[in-house]
Amino acid sequence: MERTGGTRSTESGLPIEPVYGPGDLAGWDPAERLGEPGAYPYTRGVYPSMYTGRPWTMRQYAGFGTAAESNARYKQLIANGTMGLSVAFDLPTQMGHDSDAPLAHGEVGKVGVAIDSLEDMRVLFGGIPLDKVSTSMTINAPAALLLLLYQLVAEEQGVAADKLTGTIQNDVLKEYIARGTYIFPPKPSLRLIADIFQYCRAEIPRWNTISISGYHMAEAGASPAQEIAFTLADGIQYVRTAVAAGMDVDDFAPRLSFFFVARTTILEEVAKFRAARRIWAQVMREEFGARDPKSWMLRFHTQTAGVQLTAQQPEVNLVRVAVQGLGAVLGGTQSLHTNSFDEAIALPTDKSARLALRTQQVLAHETDVTATVDPFAGSYVVERMTDDLEAAARELMGKVEDLGGAVEAIEHGFQKSEIERSAYRIAQETDAGERVVVGVNRYRLDEEEPYEPLRVDPAIETRQAERLAKLRAWRCQGRVNNALLTMRKAAEGEDNVLYPMKEALAAGATIGEVCDTLREVWGTYRPNDVF
């Protein structure tokens, strides 16, 4: 990142020197700080061979309009070489509302695909063999529902649950901090997450039960140090919740995963990923006493930085995305989504989505970054930046602990206020021209070239409402009511809610009906005044 005048600093506000050398690593023990690839503390990567055997999983985040439209896009992506699907859901689905609910008006199918029931999920994955693809679903408060719908579709395909692989984001704490698509208060939300951990261990053992996300914090303005500090603090809260529910840490920790951003500042991003792995390994081994090395590994998905995309001269975003993707790969990501160049304007077109995937394929097959396990190991600047970022992140994590942990810090507004300060600093630097954004505050065009975006048909809302009306007329309402009542009793008590929830969804209950039943028991979260 170029700054005009003055001393250069990283995105986290840490000094960055023009030259680094051995003196910057004085007293530095490579065995302790680095280790070997695939070994504790995993600074150099979670697997011994990394990409020398096979590249990262290439995912493309997609979903819009109806289930049929998104299904067609998924099949195109698979035909073009995508190795894993990543599903975007519309806001009503994310908030647990049916498409015909008053609160859903105007948002159906806009920022993702509309899923109201098992019928929609069948269409979404029609013709896609679920034992052959890995599917990531960006869904949080109602994550359990979408996972169970996925399992039901797999069962209809004849695919056993132990053959399913993928991830649900399921990270509600960051919703209170940076994003806002929460439904229930923190306590029942954490209870639901613990139920998901237990259910998947018994029923879907290869599924990643949570993707603890710093990406959305970064999109809200968090610095790299804040991103990893607050994300790992959330991760610690989830582990404590599961342990308090009676689970052994090694029974669920190997299925935890993380989700980070990749910015254009390659060196700091590489250092960020290395620092995050090292901190998590130490926390899991020393604080929680995990014995299984898989519990120590911080495995993560990366998405290139949507917040850095510009509507001005959108083709320049192709360069930004390539640079960001390279940073993620050099940092050792397990899977990657590369944004399309037109996402600052509208939903990606077929062509732009294909170009985004081709960017990953060029990185994997036309560069030499996959020829060696850890290209930056021993770099004076990267190792010093890793140490500096680790220290900054640990300081922030200490402040979260001083407040009582992630949930208590959220209630105090700590993470949100810290991120807002960082975002304000970035905005000030951009407005003043100190932070150069090509095409925005420097190298502008007098007149932008016309661009025809992809638009979502507003009639989708009407069609979804018609589908819901047919579903409600066709299903056995008595069976739905009985299943919802059983789920309600589980929610009121201590039984795992996912088993009766699956029965309700199989009977034809809708996303909104299931979530409304839980709202009646658990309530709805209302941010306090400090927010």
Mean pLDDT score, 449-453: 76
Residue 271 exposed, middle or buried by CB count within 10 Å (0-12, 13-18, 19+): buried
pLDDT > 90 fraction of the chain, expressed in percent and rounded:
86
Q: What is the pLDDT of residue 7?
A: 65
pLDDT > 70 fraction of the chain, expressed in percent and rounded:
98
Mean pLDDT score, 27-34: 84
Q: What is the pLDDT of residue 341?
A: 95
**Residues 498, 193 contacting (CB under 8 angstroms):** no
Nearest to 529 by CA among 416, 418, 399, 397: 416
Mean pLDDT score, 441-454: 83
Q: For CATH 3.20.20.240, list the domain ranges present in the chain.
A: 1-33+221-233+261-289+299-444
Contacts of 378 (CB under 8 A, 6+ apart): 30, 34
Residue 163 has pLDDT above 60, yes or no: yes
Confidence of residue 528 (pLDDT cuts 50, 70, 90): low
Q: What is the pLDDT of residue 530?
A: 38
Q: Which of the 8 DSSP states describes residue 330?
A: H
Residue 424 has pLDDT above 50, yes or no: yes
Nearest to 290 by CA among 252, 256, 249, 251: 249
Q: Alpha-carbon distance 232 to 252, whole Å?
A: 16
Q: Phi-psi bin for 478: left (phi > 0), alpha (psi -120 to 50), beta?
A: alpha
Q: What is the pLDDT of residue 59?
A: 87
* Residue positions counted in the chain: 531
Mean pLDDT score, 163-191: 95
Residue 468 has pLDDT above 60, yes or no: yes
SS3 100: coil
Query: Is the entire prediction scored with pTM above 0.85?
Result: yes
Residue 505 has pLDDT above 70, yes or no: yes
Lowest mean pLDDT among 48-57, 196-205, 325-334, 442-451: 442-451
Q: Alpha-carbon distance 173 to 231, whole Å?
A: 9
Mean pLDDT score, 263-274: 98
Residue 195 has pLDDT above 90, yes or no: yes
Q: Which of the 8 DSSP states describes residue 384?
A: H
- Average pLDDT value over all residues in the chain: 94
Q: What is the pLDDT of residue 222?
A: 97
Residue 199 has pLDDT above 90, yes or no: yes
Task: Say whether domain 1-33+221-233+261-289+299-444 belongs to CATH 3.30.56.10.
Answer: no
Mean pLDDT score, 183-188: 96
**Residues 67, 121 contacting (CB under 8 angstroms):** yes
Residue scoring higher pLDDT (59 or 206): 206
SS3 109: coil
* Ordered DSSP codes for 243-280: HHTT--HHHHGGGEEEEEEE-S-HHHHHHHHHHHHHHH
Q: What is the pLDDT of residue 308?
A: 97
Residue 523 has pLDDT above 80, yes or no: yes
CB atoms within 10 A of CB 44: 24
Q: Alpha-carbon distance 184 to 173, whole Å?
A: 11
Residue 335 has pLDDT above 70, yes or no: yes
The encoded tokens of residue 286 equal 């020393």
**Residues 338, 357 contacting (CB under 8 angstroms):** yes
Convert the pLDDT of each residue in 371-405 to its tens digit. 999 999 999 999 999 999 999 999 999 999 999 99
Q: What is the pLDDT of residue 529?
A: 39
Confidence of residue 293 (pLDDT cuts 50, 70, 90): very high
Q: Alpha-carbon distance 206 to 286, whole Å?
A: 26
Mean pLDDT score, 183-199: 96
Convert the pLDDT of each residue in 97-129 to its tens digit. 999 999 999 999 998 999 999 999 999 999 999
Contacts of 67 (CB under 8 A, 6+ apart): 113, 114, 115, 120, 121, 123, 124
Q: What is the pLDDT of residue 355?
A: 95
Q: What is the pLDDT of residue 366?
A: 98
